[in-house]
Chains A and B, each alone.
Chain A
Amino acid sequence: MSRHINKLLATSLGILILLFGTSCTERIDIDTGSTYTRLAVEGYITPQYDKQWVRLTKSSDYFSNVSPEGVSGAQVIVDDGSSLATFIEDTENPGMYIAPDGYIGIPNTEYRLDIELTEIINESKRYTAIEKMPYPGQEVDSIALEYDDFFEVWLVKLYAQEPPTEDYYMFNGYVNGKIVTDSVESKNISDDKLFNGNYTSGAVVMVIREALLKEGDLFTMELSNITKEYADYMIQLQLEIRPQDPLFSGPPANVTSNLDYGAVGYFSCYSSVFASTVAKINPK
């Protein structure tokens, strides 16, 4: 939440600069050199049938400007303490490893991801991550959409009782069943520091651009209970992809991963609740 305030401040700074500066941008050429290759992991275990996968890619130089190279042939095993599941590489999508049919995650279970590569990346062939899937959050009573004509966006308002425990949330949005928040910056990550145990009574939890959501569309909000570590990871990602301004941004730094041996990325396990509504202009 406090980081959201920081974002709010940075936005107000933007207004100030607009008012006083003759601020301009231009593309520049910079050579930032090169660095060794790291293993990048993006993995998910959830209670939903369609979303348990692990993607392995190689990091590259910043200006390499090619799609990341998948890491093929690895052995990818997920251990839930009682059984092992071997994830199978998608033959059409190198580096993408998918859970066996029918495999779903169970809340309050600790998952261990074991990766064994066929070749050494950054001095290691084996990588591990451990993550515990939190309990799902309380049921959502409802959500509402409100159109803001100044910013030309939809505000997603949440009605739910927030539990008294320390919780971390991730919000995703779907329009007619298709995700519209499939990038780091479009998700909303929040702790409950400033509303712990309260009824949210219509708090704005997401902002959806008008271009993505039209009147009459069905909007679905996914509210995921995530671990503090994953919330920190996602917030750090969001900080790192934002411009570093001299007033509010700290020094750039590498994002903390839950993988060992210097791998980057994250193996996350979370559960979600969903709520839907149909977009209508000024439903007030």
Chain B
Amino acid sequence: MKQLIRYSFLLLFISVCLNSFSEDTKKVTLAGYITDSENGESLPGATIIIKDLNIGTTSNSYGFYSISLGPGIYTVIYSFIGYADQSYSLDLTSDISKNVEMLTSSQQLNEVIVSDQAANANIKSAQMSVNKISSKTIQGIPALMGEVDLIKALQLLPGVKFVAEGSSGLSVRGGSPDQNLILLDEATVYNAGHLMGFFSVFNNDAVKSVELFKGDIPPNYGGRLASLIDIRMKDGNIKKFHGNGGIGLISSRLMLEGPIVKDKASFMIAGRRSYADVFLRLSPDENIRENILYFYDLNAKMNYNINDKNHLFISGYLGNDVFKNGNFGTKWGNSTATIRWNHIFQEKLFSNFTFIYSKFNYDLGIPEGNENAFNWGSTLTDYNAKADFTWFLNSNNRITFGLSTIYHNFYPGLIEGYGDESFITRYELPNNYALESGIYLGNEQKLGTQFILKYGVRLSIFNNVGPGTIFNYDADGNPLDSTFYESGDFFNTYVALEPRLGIVFLLNETSSIKASYSKNVQYIQQAQNSTAGSPFNIWFPASPNVKPQVSQQVALGYFKNFSDGMFETSLEGYYKSISNAVDFRDHAELILNKYLEGEVLSGSGWSYGAELMIKKTSGKLSGWASYTWSKAMRKIQGINSGDPYRAPYDRPNDISIVANYNLNEKISFGFTWVYATGQPVTFPVGRFEYNNTIIPVYTDRNSFRMLDYHRLDLSFTYRFNVDEDRKWKSDLNFSIYNVYNRKNPYLISFKSEVDNTSLTYAEMTYLFGILPSITYNFKF
């Protein structure tokens, strides 16, 4: 492994040196931003081709591109999927800044043939194990109770499994839900679920796109083993004022966007609120009427194009879930804020400076006036500063480098009684603090016409910082004594080198073979041993007692496009191994436990699989079909007698078919069918009697499976006023979840007959039978 790292550094060094020697001082640079002509949103991943030289580049995540050439007159073609190509003849005698506004294919009068270049971007990209979904695609997928949900759309991708029926948690290539780094405009979202996880916190109206990296994570990100889920909010329409919204069964939403100064500054604001409590108030029962139950979220963004060299983005998210009545109350939510400043030092060096604040907290309690009135609160706050640079060295090398540091503040729990009557004493879990930093360097290099390499390395450094109390434990996890560290004391440090390597071999214009290797290190994790988890599962850091988790993944894939890129197919295989995999002792107490680290067990994990995907990108019928075959195992001393056992998300066969059919401008249909092998579970094999109660006896962990899961969802959308030249446009969407009323087990319990406890039986609970819903959407 060390050799691999050394080799990658050497490669990088050689390439950079060679390039600087061969650098023609007379070269000029063509650079600029690529945006959507209609709303000014930046277009990341657009292709720029110099036709005469048959070289090209792509725009970065802010829509910026840069390419260096010898002086001359060139034909430059700008292209992006779903947009019409634009071709310019440019006389490059000195550095040129060229911003391009792309027109969607439908805005063009004539039928436009999307160029091969744009269509085959997936073939040539050095990145593998990645899936990108636009908010428009997500909108077309039939949704549970009509709530369009980005996370549930991701669950339909190959290699991704849902963690429980209806849950917005996901498992990527066998990993746990806490092994996914979920970023909303670069800010970590620690809990992505509303209503105990049945809906995700992301309002699709506010989202531009989501990109999922399955293990092969670019070196500018780190800190999670399984995936990066990079969600970008809309920048806000910089051309004209626009709004959309909807009224559904669960919630209503409204998004407004528009220019503050046309072509200079824009805003976007989106809100959503559920209204179950409104229905509760209609109940004849006073005790039900007094229940308050809702969630809301708010996304806001401002984007200011100061000049060609400076661009400022400010965005934020605030969301909460509230559930309370006279006896009990709980509230949880995330808030994030991101300030980003894009600065172009010179046409070749793009930089982005980011400051991020992210908080997840919950409160739970029994209200004042009760003898056991208490409040229990827990908070995790991050302050993060980042600097990222992209150096467009020449048309063959794009170098990225930068650094990031996060200051984590863990306030895992404080419980306090309040009111005169309360007998609850103050109980506090010790707060702790940590610094998580990373420095990275990477290059994407074209070697000749057939090879593209990407190689990079991330150096991650994790420090536990005082003040903090660390307990020492015996082999059974019982606390022995504790050590207190003073404020500012860097009392424990972990350092890791994380190489991220990839290679593409272009077989021809429409097919390629890719391979990758990546190592990821995870320093903070969630104390969760249930499959779906709840918002009350706290995050806790690596420490002298808990080693960081490490994963290594190798992947190999074949990519082939057909019919001018209308069909994209891919077949990927991967093997991933995890060391220091965290799991918990049997019957671990993970909530409100001072000695949580005593419950942690550490071992190894491995998973492997093959993912096949066929995607149709354009035409009346679009969508994808995917099949995944996979295994995920763990081996941890103290669990299952130290023998290997199936990971909770090991579901070997998994099929998703997602289709959207636009019959005409007015009518479209959505179709989703999913199938997955039953979830692994532990069932009782034996039993004994204690205190007139049948007690189960288990043998091997996760050795049984629930019934296989499958489900069909359909939707039908009818659009009004499509032909008319009216600003107000609307549609009605009818969705049916679980059309053929499959009884998919949510849980299986083992019970005794009431009148004869010796008689036992198994009972399955299923959550959602056939479930229709209707949503009214509008835009103006």
Contacts and interface: CB of A to CB of B under 8 A. Distances in A.
Nearest to B767: A21
Nearest to B738: A22
Contacts of B584: 250
B167 interface: yes
A196 interface: yes
B539 interface: no
Contacts of B746: 23, 245-246
A61 B704 CA distance: 16
Given A194-B427, A200-B423, A252-B682, A35 B697 contact: yes
B163 interface: yes
A36 B364 CA distance: 45
Interface stretch (B40-48, B491-499, B527-535, B718-726): B527-535
A20 B276 contact: yes
5 contacts: A8-B328, A66-B758, A187-B691, A241-B696, A246-B747
Of listed A5, A17, A185, residue having the most chain B CB within 10 A: A5
Interface in A221-250: 232, 235-237, 239-250
B18 interface: no
B529 A251 contact: yes
Contacts of A185: 693
B147 to A, nearest CB: 11
A55 B166 CA distance: 45
Contacts of B421: 201-202
A254 B683 CA distance: 11
B764 A68 contact: no
A38 interface: yes
Contact of B423 (A3, A198, A241): A198
A199 interface: yes
Contact of A203 (B330, B371, B588, B771): B371
Contacts of B759: 65
Contact of A184 (B423, B695, B765): B695
Given A22-B768, A25-B763, A264 B688 contact: yes
B764 A237 contact: no
B7 interface: no
B534 A247 contact: yes
A35 B686 contact: yes
Given A67-B758, A68-B689, A241-B693, 17 more contacts: A6-B591, A20-B276, A27-B763, A29-B762, A32-B683, A35-B699, A57-B688, A61-B686, A150-B287, A182-B691, A183-B691, A184-B691, A185-B693, A198-B425, A247-B164, A252-B698, A256-B587
Given A29-B762, A30-B762, A40 B750 contact: no
Interface string A21-59: 111111111101111101010100000000000000111
A255 interface: yes
B532 A237 contact: no
B364 to A, nearest CB: 7
A35 B690 contact: no
A248 B530 contact: yes
A25 B745 CA distance: 9
Contacts of A34: 685-686
A204 B689 CA distance: 29
A19 B145 CA distance: 13
B490 interface: no
A120 interface: no
Interface SS of chain A: loop
Contacts of B687: 59-62, 64
A12 B695 contact: no
Contacts of A203: 371-372, 423
A12 B767 contact: no
B5 to A, nearest CB: 37
B587 A42 contact: no
Nearest to B531: A246
Nearest to B291: A15
Nearest to A253: B586
B748 interface: yes
B232 interface: no
B702 interface: yes
Given A194-B425, A194-B427, A201-B421, A59 B686 contact: yes
A229 B289 CA distance: 43
Contact of B371 (A2, A38, A202): A202
A125 interface: no
Interface stretch (B191-199, B297-305, B554-562, B662-670): B191-199
B682 A251 contact: yes
B642 interface: no
Interface in B274-330: 276, 280, 287, 291, 293, 323, 328, 330
A197 interface: yes
